[in-house]
Amino acid sequence: MTVGEVRMTRQAAVRGRPRSEKAEKAIIGAALDLIGEGTSVSELSIEAVAARAGVGKTTIYRRWTNKEDLVGDALATLKAPLPALAGRSVREDLIVYLDVMRQDSRTLRTRCIMNIAMSEPERHPRLYERFRQSVIEPRRCALQAVLERGRASGELREDLDVELAMAMLSGTMMWHTKWASDLDPLPDDLAARIVDEALLGFRAR
């Protein structure tokens, strides 16, 4: 291969990458829009996603072998990464953790799609397992680590039931995010209020 041919190959690769990334973004966006508009995972079709994204079905199948894998990747993009927990205090870390859940719920698309993802685990076990591993489990481990550290440091009761405490904290925020309306946005201090109420029973005496 000549120097000129090498240069042309490199230029083509550079030009091709943005197009590939643009197509992938359009495909994921199309899947999210369709589900956000009320299409269930069962009803979603590759044909509909391709039409909405303005690409051919083969473009989608080059990246995803089936719609469950596509939806799994699409759902993962909606979850903000959990910020690093500073470890200065249990209260501070719990507030940061729950506030991410609050912010995740701000858009109708996010709430709608999260509800679909959680309501069809029996019909789409592979999708649910992917969602559990990529989104649910990392956050669950992070919350568990905060509470275990609090027990070890003496900030929390030594006999605290960590599993139950996790359910109380995340479940309370989920209750608020599920029933919140667009006309009644969640208050900015909701995470702090939940944590402070919970700590009345969690703290060491």
pLDDT tens digit string along 170-199? 999 988 887 765 556 789 999 999 999 999
Please check whether residues 188 and 87 belong to one and the same domain: yes
Please check whether residues 120 and 173 belong to one and the same domain: yes
Domain that holds residue 36: 3-66
Could you tell me if residue 168 is inside a domain? yes
Please check whether residues 104 and 194 belong to one and the same domain: yes
Tokens (6 digits) for 165 = 């405490």
Please check whether residues 146 and 96 belong to one and the same domain: yes
Q: Are residues 61 and 45 in contact, defined by beta-carbon separation less than 8 angstroms?
A: no
Please check whether residues 62 and 115 belong to one and the same domain: no
Specify the pLDDT at position 86: 87
Could you tell me if residue 111 is inside a domain? yes
pLDDT in tens, 87-109: 899 999 999 999 988 888 777 77
Q: How far apart are CA 57 and CA 36, in angstroms?
A: 21
Higher pLDDT, 161 or 37: 161
Please check whether residues 184 and 137 belong to one and the same domain: yes
Q: Are residues 166 and 143 in contact, defined by beta-carbon separation less than 8 angstroms?
A: yes
Looking at the structure of the chain, the number of domains it has is 2
Q: Are residues 46 and 57 in contact, defined by beta-carbon separation less than 8 angstroms?
A: yes
CATH number for 127: 1.10.357.10
Could you tell me if residue 73 is inside a domain? no
Could you tell me if residue 72 is inside a domain? no
